[in-house]
Amino acid sequence: TCAIQSGGAKCWGYNSVRQGGVGTTTDILTPTDVTGLTSGIANISTGGFHTCAVTTGGAAKCWGSNDRGQLGVGNTAVQTGIVAVSGLSSGVASISAGFQTTCAVMTSGAVKCWGANSGGMLGDGSSVLSSSTPVSVAAPGNSVQSVAVGSGYACAVGTDGALLCWGGNVGGRFGSSTQASSST
């Protein structure tokens, strides 16, 4: 679990792959400052085994598990600390970490996703298994105000209030009266 307190990131709980951001793999029993992110944090989101934050300057930073490229650093290698997401050093408005995928809303209203692409949840129309760098989501265009990433799918709310979803539509997650998945 993570939260922002006085502008800084604090995390606690299960920490087996450093998703707590404190430099160890020991579980964190009380809210603890994330190493190097004690101020200037605007948004934070925890995923399956990784965590990402947006700085007040609009940069995306992630830490924890990287087995499907969900940290966005251009590879799937183990990372031992907080890393900057490739190509997102500014212009990020908010971020959402899912199970093995992460998506960010840009200040332009565009959405970028990286990590696992099961069911097409990167939203770029590709059939690649994963992307370790951010790719542009096709469907929302440049009119998104928020995004939420689940396990195998993502949904965004447009500036016009429209709900847009992509990825796996198991059980009708999209609310679209079908169970058809969509990669865009």
pTM score > 0.85 for this model? yes
Instruction: Name the CA dihedral angle for 167, 170, 176, 180, rounded to a multiple of 10 degrees.
Output: 70
pLDDT tens for 2-27 read: 999 999 999 999 999 999 999 999 99
Residue 172's pLDDT is 61
Structure tokens at 90: 């500014």
Contact 92, 141 (CB under 8 A): no
Instruction: Name the nearest CA neighbour of 158 among 172, 132, 137, 173.
Output: 137
Give the pLDDT confidence of 36-94 residue by residue, as tens digits: 999 999 999 999 899 999 999 999 999 999 999 999 999 999 999 999 999 999 999 99
DSSP 143-160: -EEEEEE-SSEEEEEETT
- Cβ atoms of residues 52 and 45 within 8 Å: yes
Token reading at 3: 């939260």
Q: What is the DSSP letter of 118?
A: G
CA distance to 101, 141, 170, per residue, from 111 (Å): 13, 8, 22
Under a CB-based contact definition with an 8 Å cutoff, are residues 2 and 15 in contact? no
Q: What is the pLDDT of residue 181?
A: 62
**Rounded-to-integer distance, Cα 102 and Cα 44, Å:** 12
Could you report the per-residue pLDDT of 120-133, keeping only the tens digit for each?
Answer: 899 898 989 999 99
Does residue 51 sit in helix, strand or coil?
A: strand
Q: What is the DSSP letter of 182?
A: B
Split at pLDDT 50, 70, 90, the class of 162 is confident
- Whether the pLDDT of residue 96 is over 80: the answer is yes
pLDDT computed for residue 178 by the predictor: 65
- pLDDT value at residue 184: 58
